[in-house]
């Protein structure tokens, strides 16, 4: 009798646990794959922001690796002919999936170029490598030296 109560209690606990996991997924309105897509998109966005505001090439390396890994993973989430009513992805992605794939490949290539240029330890060259990402990087500022500054001893 005692063992039956223990088994019954265990079954109830497992059932409650599984239903709570399922309820959380339904409550959020997202499947596991949708949550994973969102996670990688957020990682991508965060890494791009970190690179954009990096003050040295050393600070650019880790987020660049995250971008390469994230773009590789994100490409697998939109397989051909997988759209449907159940998707939460933006319509723009599904309407032009080839463009989305090209952008992911372009971003991956730009991140690889950036990773190679980081070893040069030149922040301006590294920021130029970001050009493949469109509006991500701020424009590279070129400074001109005024001859008056040279005479007065002002250092740039």
Per-residue DSSP letters for 6-20?
HHHHHHHHHHHHHHH
pTM over 0.85: no
Residue 28 pLDDT class (50, 70, 90 cuts) = low
Question: Is the pLDDT at 95 greater than 70, yes or no?
Answer: yes
Across residues 21-29, what is the average pLDDT?
Answer: 48
| Percentage of the chain modeled with pLDDT above 70 | 47
Q: How many CB atoms neighbour CB 57 within 10 A?
A: 20
Question: Is the pLDDT at 84 greater than 50, yes or no?
Answer: yes
Query: 130 with 136: CB under 8 angstroms?
Result: yes
User: In the numeric block, which tokens belong to residue 120?
Assistant: 């040069």
Across residues 49-74, what is the average pLDDT?
Answer: 86
Residue with tokens 């090209």: 102
Q: How many CB atoms neighbour CB 63 within 10 A?
A: 23
Residue 129: helix, strand or coil by DSSP? helix
């Amino acid at each position: 009798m005692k063992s039956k109560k223990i088994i019954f209690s265990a079954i109830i606990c497992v059932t409650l646990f599984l239903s709570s996991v399922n309820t959380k997924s339904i409550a959020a309105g997202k499947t596991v794959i949708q949550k994973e897509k969102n996670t990688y998109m957020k990682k991508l966005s965060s890494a791009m922001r970190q690179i954009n505001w990096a003050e040295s090439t050393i600070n650019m390396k880790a987020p660049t690796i995250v971008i390469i890994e994230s773009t590789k993973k994100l490409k697998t989430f939109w397989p051909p002919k997988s759209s449907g009513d159940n998707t939460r992805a933006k319509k723009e992605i599904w309407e032009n999936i080839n463009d989305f794939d090209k952008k992911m490949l372009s971003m991956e290539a730009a991140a690889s170029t950036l990773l190679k240029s980081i070893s040069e330890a030149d922040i301006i060259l590294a920021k130029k490598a970001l050009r493949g990402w469109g509006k991500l990087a701020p424009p590279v500022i070129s400074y001109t030296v005024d001859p008056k500054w040279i005479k007065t001893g002002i250092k740039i």
